[in-house]
Amino acid sequence: MIIALAGNPNCGKTTLFNALTGSTAHVGNWPGVTVDKREGTYKKRGLKIQIVDLPGIYSLSPYTPEEVVSRNYIIKERPDLVVNVVDATNLERNLYLTTQLLELDVPVVIALNMGDVLKKEGKSLDDAKLSKLFKVPVVKISALKKEGLEELMCTVSESAASAREGFSVIEKGALENLFKDAKTLYKDKGADNVAFRAVKAIEQDVEEVKTNSDVTAKIKEKLNDGEDYEAVVADLRYTFITEKTKGVVGGKQKAVKLSASDRIDRVLTHRIWGIPIFLFIMFAVFHLTFSEDFLYLGAMGAIPESANPTGWNNIFGNGAINAPGTILFNLMDLATGKLGDLVAGAMPEGTWYTSMVCDGLLGGVFSVLSFIPQILVLFLFLSILEDSGYMARVAFIMDRAFRRFGLSGKSFLPLLMCFGCAVPGIMATRTIESERERRLTIMITPFFSCGAKLPIWACIGSVLFAGQYKDLIVYGVYVLGIAVAVLSALVLKKLVIKGETSAFIMELPEYRRPQFSNTMIHLWQKLKHYLFRAATVIAGATVVIWFLTSFSFSFSFVEDQGESILGVISKAFQWLFVPLGFAMGEDGWKFVVAAFSGLIAKEMVVSVLGMFAGMSNDVLDLDESTLLSTGFGSLVVGMAGGVPAAMAFMAFNLLSVPCMAAVGAASGELSKKKYLFGAIAYWMLTAYIVSALIFWIGRYWWISIILAGIVTVAVAAKLIYDKYGKKRVKTVKDINKE
């Protein structure tokens, strides 16, 4: 038996689903759209019921992917029964969806949730009256306390057997005759879900017009011009609910006294303090996850720096304490490193398959695995913020600032996360409902300099200008990234991802204490998702890359990466990068190989350069002050293009495809392959153009004057066109009118 859970967002549907299915749940996407599809099984008392969790929706309108997915699922997949979860503390709006679900010919059981909260407020709940009104069984439950669940499932298994015919609350009232006519037309046609379709025909619903154009056209003839039938139907529904459900919730009216939730909200969305508090919370989350100087104890000199760092210092920090996220990262790094050594020790030295397993497969997979603790810590905090209801307020506070870039308040968090790692950042775009905004947000994610790119800026910064301007260089790269992201958003909004700015009509749920079990289930699902990626996409990619960097075209194993397949390809494409400066000269191809391997993982850029510089130990392990005197230093300082070429090289690494893991994440969040290839092309193109500009302006400063001239002329031309060109068009039209 298959049943579906349907209900408003925040009605406790997820809690109920988790309580019923436990760990059996698995998450996927509905085909073609990035809307979560969750399935699980309920096994108790000899019952075995498969449960599909439909996305949280307010209505069955045809305008959002969640709503279309839900109604198509019920109509086409025909579950045996729909459990409509209703939040008793917000009865009116929740029952609005109920009136729509009941129009479908599917058995329905109403799960009346959060009655215990009402009871606490001294109110009663008349479930019998509700059951009589809607002619379906109503079961009181508390998803949180796991009360009434067995009774709910027993009622479900009993009700699923008996068929139910849909009925609509509009069958009486202003649209009575129209509804009857439409119903007859559908009955004659032999259609299913007659009541539902009849209402949709009256609304001239776009999805229904597509499927049954003959009937909707006949109904359209009977509709009055200029009358807004969607409004009439919505009004009838709410009127029915307000009138008929009077007394379902008994007891005195809501107290005038502010609830705890209201008091919290007054502080968190305060006109003046709202934004500073938000920035502080975000900072705290990142500090706890990524900082290597927790609570700034090191900067304050509270902890002495050890002259002989031990293994413990590397994990917990030296001269400072690492944040919990960093400690976990170091532990994971240590564990994977030791495991790698063990495997390497057990395999024969110097063979190609040892190299494949150790350098290729394990190296790639472990570097991804070591990010898991930090990603989990980050998601733990974000999940807590989400569950508590604060995330909705973040969108509320930040919406204004983001709207001018074609984004909404919900884009802020994913973008911020990209300073840590683009992979969780891209995955977090799932919370953005508008497909358009999600695409736009994903397109600008790589421009935010992530943790893996930092070593590139740090190492090159420490050798350019003898390391004098290192801080400035690192800072400059971050600013460049943000500037390109902002410009990109403006350009993409205007040219590529056009369309109206989506609405920002969002419920602000009451603040609630996050549920430990929900948070853990959420984290577990994220972990599974990420591990799956690491085991498939990333493992595959790293083996391919290892092959490309270790073998020549004659399939012989090479020590010098310049002779490898990737090296040869890079040399072949060297000319393409000469305009960017860094490919100039004898050593130019080395930087091309580094940039190419950076497309796979940015961690590789510095290590590839170090390898070309003939350094036996890892560049990253060296003290930055001694880097200048090494082969790495002379390689970078000796670039044929000079400092501008080094700058262009950094810009290219900053803006191009961040890594294969990010591409994998993006392909999971973008609904069409076309969009993914578009994003990749856009990243590469932006990287190329910006790097070229930086190199040429750095080389010949007067180019900036020419560019400024071109921009001025273009802007002036646009202004003149806006002023006179449009006017002329208008006058022509005016003449025609006259």
Partner 1 sequence: MLTTLDKLEKGMQGKVVSVTGEIKIKRRLFDMGITPGAGIVLRKVAPLGDPIEITLRGYELSLRKSEAASVTVEV
Per CB under 8 A, which region of 25-33, 178-186, 223-231, 293-301 contacts partner 1? 223-231
Per CB under 8 A, which region of 91-99, 171-179, 328-336, 412-420 contacts partner 1? 91-99
What crossing angle do the helices spanning 194-203 and 229-244 adopt, rounded to 10°? 130
In whole angstroms, what is the distance from residue 172 CA to residue 738 CA?
51
Query: Is 269 near partner 1 (CB under 8 A)?
Result: yes
Per CB under 8 A, which region of 111-119, 172-180, 271-279, 664-672 contacts partner 1? 271-279
Closest of 618, 509, 527, 577 to residue 264, by C-alpha: 509
Please say whether the beta carbons of 16 and 143 come within 8 A: yes
Residues numbered 503 to 532 that lie near partner 1 (CB under 8 A) are 503-510
In the complex with partner 1, which residue's Cβ is closer, 63 or 724? 63
Per CB under 8 A, which region of 92-100, 147-155, 162-170, 342-350 contacts partner 1? 92-100
In whole angstroms, what is the distance from residue 576 CA to residue 590 CA?
14
In the complex with partner 1, which residue's Cβ is closer, 165 or 230? 230
- Which positions ≥6 away from 566 have C-beta within 8 Å? 545, 548, 549, 593, 596, 597
Query: Is 274 near partner 1 (CB under 8 A)?
Result: yes
581 φ, ψ to 5°? 90, -45
Query: Is 92 near partner 1 (CB under 8 A)?
Result: yes
In whole angstroms, what is the distance from residue 135 CA to residue 165 CA?
11
In the complex with partner 1, which residue's Cβ is closer, 300 or 503? 503
Query: Is 543 near partner 1 (CB under 8 A)?
Result: no
CB of 62 to partner 1, least distance (A): 9
Could you say which of 78, 132, 180, 254 contacts partner 1 (CB under 8 A)? 254
Query: Is 401 near partner 1 (CB under 8 A)?
Result: yes
Query: Is 96 near partner 1 (CB under 8 A)?
Result: yes
Query: Is 282 near partner 1 (CB under 8 A)?
Result: no
Per CB under 8 A, which region of 233-241, 433-441, 583-591, 677-685 contacts partner 1? 233-241
Query: Is 91 near partner 1 (CB under 8 A)?
Result: yes
Could you say which of 128, 161, 217, 231 contacts partner 1 (CB under 8 A)? 231
In the complex with partner 1, which residue's Cβ is closer, 88 or 452? 88
Per CB under 8 A, which region of 132-140, 171-179, 231-239, 614-622 contacts partner 1? 231-239
Query: Is 544 near partner 1 (CB under 8 A)?
Result: no
What are the helix (H) ranges across 601-641? 603-612, 631-637
Residue 425 pairs with which residues in a beta bridge?
Answer: none
Query: Is 239 near partner 1 (CB under 8 A)?
Result: yes
Residues numbered 371 to 400 that lie near partner 1 (CB under 8 A) are 392, 396-397, 399-400
Q: Tell me the number of residues near partner 1 by CB under 8 A.
A: 40
Query: Is 150 near partner 1 (CB under 8 A)?
Result: no
Gyration radius of the chain's alpha carbons: 31
What are the helix (H) ranges across 73-140? 91-101, 115-120, 127-134
In the complex with partner 1, which residue's Cβ is closer, 431 or 519? 431
Query: Is 12 near partner 1 (CB under 8 A)?
Result: no
Could you say which of 272, 307, 495, 735 contacts partner 1 (CB under 8 A)? 272
Query: Is 549 near partner 1 (CB under 8 A)?
Result: no
In whole angstroms, what is the distance from residue 457 CA to residue 460 CA?
5
Residue by residue, DSSP assigns 344-377 as: HHHS-TT-HHHHIIIIIIIHHHHHHHTTHHHHHH
Residue 189: half-sphere exposure toward Cβ, Cα within 13 Å: 19
- Read off the tokens for 417: 């996360």
Could you say which of 29, 167, 238, 643 contacts partner 1 (CB under 8 A)? 238
Q: What sign does the CA torsion over 41, 42, 44, 45 have?
A: negative
CB of 490 to partner 1, least distance (A): 19
Bridging pattern class, strands 36-44 and 47-53:
antiparallel
Query: Is 113 near partner 1 (CB under 8 A)?
Result: no
In whole angstroms, what is the distance from residue 609 CA to residue 570 CA?
14
Per CB under 8 A, which region of 107-115, 499-507, 637-645, 706-714 contacts partner 1? 499-507
CB of 396 to partner 1, least distance (A): 5
Residues numbered 40 to 59 that lie near partner 1 (CB under 8 A) are 58-59
- CB neighbours (10 Å) of residue 628? 16
Query: Is 121 near partner 1 (CB under 8 A)?
Result: no
Query: Is 478 near partner 1 (CB under 8 A)?
Result: no
- Read off the tokens for 126: 């008349």
In the complex with partner 1, which residue's Cβ is closer, 507 or 563? 507
In the complex with partner 1, which residue's Cβ is closer, 269 or 374? 269
In the complex with partner 1, which residue's Cβ is closer, 231 or 299? 231
In the complex with partner 1, which residue's Cβ is closer, 396 or 547? 396
Closest of 32, 122, 117 to residue 69, by C-alpha: 32
Per CB under 8 A, which region of 191-199, 263-271, 288-296, 307-315 contacts partner 1? 263-271
Altogether, the residues listed in the chain come to a count of 738
Residue 692: half-sphere exposure toward Cβ, Cα within 13 Å: 11
- Read off the tokens for 539: 């493992």
Residue 82 pairs with which residues in a beta bridge?
Answer: 4, 108
- Which positions ≥6 away from 424 have C-beta within 8 Å? 375, 378, 379, 417
CB of 49 to partner 1, least distance (A): 30
CB of 529 to partner 1, least distance (A): 30
Query: Is 234 near partner 1 (CB under 8 A)?
Result: yes
Please say whether the beta carbons of 4 and 52 come within 8 A: yes
Per CB under 8 A, which region of 147-155, 225-233, 291-299, 468-476 contacts partner 1? 225-233
Per CB under 8 A, which region of 84-92, 149-157, 293-301, 441-449 contacts partner 1? 84-92
In the complex with partner 1, which residue's Cβ is closer, 99 or 318? 99
567, containing H or E segment: helix 565-572
Query: Is 207 near partner 1 (CB under 8 A)?
Result: no
Three-state secondary structure of 276-332: HHHHHHHHHHHHHHHCCCHHHCCCCCCCCCCCCCCHHHHHHCCCCCCCHHHHHHHHH
CB of 59 to partner 1, least distance (A): 4
Closest of 490, 506, 616 to residue 559, by C-alpha: 616
In whole angstroms, what is the distance from residue 385 CA to residue 379 CA?
10
CB of 228 to partner 1, least distance (A): 8
Task: Output b/e per residue, 586-610; b: 16+ Cβ within 10 A.
Answer: ebbbbbbbbbbbbbbbbbbbbbbbb
In whole angstroms, what is the distance from residue 306 CA to residue 698 CA?
42
CB of 110 to partner 1, least distance (A): 18
In the complex with partner 1, which residue's Cβ is closer, 510 or 563? 510
Query: Is 708 near partner 1 (CB under 8 A)?
Result: no
E strand map for 185-274: 249-250
Query: Is 63 near partner 1 (CB under 8 A)?
Result: yes
Query: Is 341 near partner 1 (CB under 8 A)?
Result: no
Could you say which of 14, 15, 89, 388 contacts partner 1 (CB under 8 A)? 89
Query: Is 307 near partner 1 (CB under 8 A)?
Result: no
Give me the amino acid identity at 347.
M
In degrees, rounded to 5, the angle at the alpha carbon of residue 384 between the alpha carbons of residues 380 and 390 is: 140
Please say whether the beta carbons of 623 and 646 come within 8 A: no
In the complex with partner 1, which residue's Cβ is closer, 53 or 87? 87
Closest of 349, 515, 499 to residue 436, by C-alpha: 499
Binding residues for partner 1, rule: CB under 8 A, are 58-59, 61, 63, 89-93, 96, 228, 230-231, 234-235, 238-239, 254, 269-272, 274-275, 392, 396-397, 399-401, 403, 500, 503-510
